[in-house]
A and B are shown apart, each in its own frame.
Chain A
Amino acid sequence: MKLSGAQIFIECLKREGVEIIFGYPGGQVLPIFDKLYDAKLKFILTRHEQGAAHAADGYARATGKVGVCLATSGPGATNLITGIATAYMDSIPMVAFTGQVKTNLIGNDAFQEADLTGITRPITKHNFLVKRTEDLAQVIREAFYIASTGRPGPVLVDIPSDVQIKEAEFIWPEKITIRSYNPNYFGHPGQIKKAAKLIEKAKKPIIYAGGGIIISQAEKELKILAEKIQSPVTTTLMGLGGFDETHPLSLKMLGMHGTAYANHAIMEADCIIAIGARFDDRVTGRTDTFAPYAKIIHIDIDPTSISKNIRVDIPVVGDAKNVLRELVEFITKKPDTREWLKTISEWKARHPLKYRKTDGIKPQFIIEEINRQTHGDAIICTEVGQHQMWAAQWYKYTKPRTFISSGGLGTMGYGMPAAIGAQLGCPKKTVFNIAGDGSIQMNIQEMMTAVVNKLPIKIAILNNCYLGMVRQWQELFYKKRYSQTPLCNPDFVKLAQSFGAIGMKITRKSDVKQAIKKALSIKDKPVMIDFRVEREENVYPMVPAGEPINKMISGLA
């Protein structure tokens, strides 16, 4: 059967099980958009290509499926870049399609030409420039396979417009094998046995779990391991929801803004079981002082993550779910951790997360109230900054895929489009975007996308009229010289209304509960709440950059 490149594109996406494409049309993708006109594929028109990339990413994080976005050549494609880099840093399965100028014009500085495979090489897991229509089906198949297997990541497929028009025999490759790409899903049994022996002898174990738990759907296996060896569990920002934070063994998040008890515990531990985490600098603090007494077991599907920042004693390359299953089997003697758990409960009692209650609206209180009213069951998307850390600290995450945030790249403007992707992927869930007044303005145009698609996203702006996190650093480390951090903002209520959404402004603490209740009752459009919070509230605890991870500023001491 002969099909045009554009028809092959549609046919391949259907066979890959794609439900939604996020994107924006343009000159070099006209043939594809023409075929999309009749295709039974849901297309979400964002208002900016960056929004399309983040929405595809948010959809992928909320559902576990591959997110798909589509943009034209040149500026359309370069607008995807921040979204692709965001997905790359957080290992999110995504396939980004871009139009390209005709093959005979490539390299000629043609109108709306940019070398997208060149630009995206360091921020994609892999990328392709398709030069022949005959290759298109094979490339798309490989792109989805690479994006979703091993350590997932974004893959870019650049398709010149003549390749979309030309016809070729459509051959769907049923099976895909790439000789140079064979992810290791099962850990080496010898290494897993060694890990089991080390755990059996541990007195002060700690499980340090990252986003790999969520990607590999290993939350049950993680719980079984933790309960079997009675080890406390701390998660990274990306790992939030991978372990139930209401479980007695949970230490919540560790790192720069983690709980004091998680940071003390990892520094005092004699055995760290790292799973699907990468010892990021926001977690380790100063590396030469990190966890001085611990032997480290590191389970990760990506060998380059192992011994990159911190020297590891027992590396296990494999998929978290498979490795954890085997590890639990190999552990025959349970370590005695009673003393250790006693110490930890003392830390928990002595250094709980806290904030000073006043008459003003505390941002932490808003998150607590959202948690209470949604019973910890909402999907919480965030932008980047103070509000992101408060959302991480004060909401109680109990299930995977409920915290959606740009962890690695730290992309302001991520949350609004990500919430759109999450809500479309999970229509029955309550989706919040916890935002700052700075971040929300970075992709505010996507309010229109949410309104058009009748998405009942709740946007809670923790508005302090500052770029709060930068201001906090300026307060603590730059003598309160607030260089370019005070913000002049639009009237968010009118802004929301102009998009056709509901806007609320809350200035009194006593109105917070009612506002959230009202927002939750609206089911057919977005609600934006402008919470006027105490302006100079800081995120604590905090570990200053470059300090050991247990040297925290508490703010309340």
Chain B
Amino acid sequence: MAATAERTGTPPTAEHISELDVAIEVGPNGPALGAILGAGLGVFYLGFLTTLTEMAVGVHDWLIFQDRVGPLSGKTTMTGVAWLVSWAVLHLAWRKREVPFLPVAALTVALMVAGNVLMLPPVFQRLAVD
């Protein structure tokens, strides 16, 4: 039916949609929400480390993984590690589950907003110690 419609150039019909409905089962949304929440955590980790680096000299110095790059080398490396670990945990926990969409989406938005705020120079510079 779909092939016939494609050949004749006619717009999709109810048969196309029902054929798609029958042919495709979406499956649990856990893997997708794990990736989405993981990304939100990644953004938050980066913002958190950015501000923490300014507030704690010890953290600042510890995060200098490369002298030429400075603490940015440690901030980004640790963010990457924490993001991947978090995502892996979420994926393993949710990969076969149907997870409530709105609470996870709301939490992701909150984490991204917080992370981006903490990355704003007026914010972390105000909290910086001399």
A-B interaction: no
Interface residues of A (CB under 8 A from B): none
